[in-house]
Amino acid sequence: MGLLERIYKWMFRSLANQLLFTYLVIIVISLLAVSLWALFAIKSESVTDLRNSLEVEAVHLALEIDNDLGMDSEKSRQRIQSAVDRHATKLGVAITVVDRDGRVLADSQMSSQGPDGQNISNNAEINDALAGIVAIYTRNERTTNSNWLYVACPVRAGGQTTGVIRVGVQLTEIEQRLHRDLIIFLEIIFATGVMTVLISLWLARRVNRPLQEMSMTARKIAASGDMSETVPVKRPDEVGELARSFNQMIRRLREQERLRQEFIANASHELKTPTMAIGSVVEALQAGAAEDPKLRVQFLESLERLVDRQANLLQDLLDISRLDSGLDMSKKSEINVQQLITDAVEQVRPNAEKKQVELGVESQVDGAIVNGNSIHLQRALVNILANAINYTSKDGNVSVKAIIDGDDEVEIKISDTGIGIDAGDLPHIFERFYRADKARSRQSGGSGLGLAITQEIIARHQGSVNVESEVGVGSTFIVRLPVKLMPQTAKIEVALDDESASVGHANTVLGSHE
């Protein structure tokens, strides 16, 4: 049992050993099967050829002694014995001739003593031949302790069986030939097995080498965190493709690590700036600014803005962390796109009115339903709308246009007449902590995470967000989301429900005034 366990452990120690063992077992089994089939075919063909030869010889002898079998005389028996001896000596076979009653008339193995007239009709092949059929039997003879092949042919005259000629031969030569062939086949199997082992070792090591290199590189990365190494790609096959994929994974991990470090550095910087400003305000208040009512109000307002900015930044960091980890994305439901746009617009409308920016909505998405998280999607639209309002000057306008594009997509365009985005900044505006106008962004309280959060939310809803902008003219953000359309009857029911709800709400309001 110990040896089997060691073999089992060795076999599964590496891929090379498994390939070697598999190739060896398959080839050995295949060669054994082919060898057994070949030995069986050789034996069958040899016995068939020998049987046909014996049958032909029996027919020739029957033609020669046909007349003598019908004569019951000493001379006829002598002629039969002479013919039997001649044919047996020529071919090296044993020949026996019996009469119609099964008595031996001539036997090549008893020619010196002459036939003894023994009745051998109880032998199966003799009995069958006396019945008029050619009988073929193989049996072991105790006198010679060897296997014999017998062919017994009836001799017929006048429509009757007048005797039987039995020709027999030892199968020793055939058995010896099969034994020699078996040895040759075993030698071939052994030689092939050795060659298989050598070739399999070479192939297995060739296949296993890049896998070992990938394993070593992975262990180094796990141990030290150093992702500077890659594995060489020298092959165009599946193993080479695996190596290329491994290198791509390393590069992606390297990029993710770079982004993570940048994220930590940017987050630390963004948190540090308002924290230091808050500390400065507190120090000023402690130094005596609190005694001056005007300065106290000014510093407290500044402190409130800094705290709000800190809270917004922390909320953005929390939101993007949840998005990265996939939290809350499982809470999905069917969302009415029209209601989603309305809620987002109403949320930013006070800010637009405060800045005296006109906010317009033109929506043609009745019956459009998106499957997703309503809180996240509303946050994405609010981020774009808030940016549009913040970067649009007084008396400017921000417009929202929504249409159904085809049967399975809604397009939401949010345009403004703000300052626009420089062409060099457009490829980067969805990056985390990136600001196209850094001074103005910090002044407005932006964290640089809003558009990154927006893009992440839209992407997780199988949608896309793009931007078109021209400096001094304005920007247009285009959001596309997959939707499904409500049937017309469902639209009517929803409209009736909304109307009933509005009437109920109006009655409640009137009732409160009474």
Of 318 and 384, the one with more pLDDT? 384
Convert the pLDDT of each residue in 96-121 to its tens digit: 998 888 888 888 877 545 556 788 88
At a CB cut-off of 8 Å and minimum separation 6, what does 156 contact? 132, 162
- Domain residue ranges in the chain: 10-224, 227-327, 331-513
Q: Do the beta carbons of residue 98 and residue 118 sit within 8 Å?
A: no
Q: Give the model's pLDDT for residue 399.
A: 94
pLDDT tens for each residue of 302-341: 777 778 777 777 777 777 777 766 656 567 888 999 999 9
Helix (H, G, I), strand (E, B) or coil at 5: helix
> By the 8 A CB rule, do 492 and 486 touch?
no
CA distances, 120 to each of 7, 61, 97, 99, 111 (Å):
60, 20, 10, 10, 17
Q: What sign does the dihedral 482-474-430-351 (CA atoms) show? A: negative
CATH architecture of 227-327: Orthogonal Bundle (1.10)
Looking at the domain that runs over 331-513, which CATH code has it been given? Answer: 3.30.565.10
Output DSSP code: residue 427: G
Mean confidence (pLDDT) of the chain: 79
> What count of other Cβ atoms lies within 10 Å of the Cβ of residue 77?
20
Is residue 382 predicted with pLDDT exceeding 80? yes
pLDDT digits 0-9 by tens, 32-47:
888 888 888 888 888 8
Express each pLDDT in 224-241 by its tens digit.
777 777 777 777 777 778
d(CA 339, CA 378): 10
Q: Return the CATH number of 10-224, one of 2.60.120.10, 3.30.450.20, 3.40.50.720, 3.40.50.1100.
A: 3.30.450.20
- Run of H or E including 341: helix 337-355
Which pLDDT band holds residue 2 (cuts at 50, 70, 90)?
low
Q: Is 475 helix (H, G, I), strand (E, B) or coil?
A: strand
Taking 70 as the threshold, does the pLDDT of residue 497 lie above it? Answer: no
Which is more confident, 343 or 262?
343
Contact by Cβ (8 Å): 245, 233: no
Structure tokens at 505: 């709400």
Name the residue type at position 215: S
What single DSSP character describes residue 225?
A: -
**Which pLDDT score is estimated for 322?**
72
Give φ, ψ of 445 to 5 degrees. 90, 10
Please return the burial class of 400, using the count of CB atoms within 10 Å of its CB with bins 0-12, 13-18 and 19+: buried
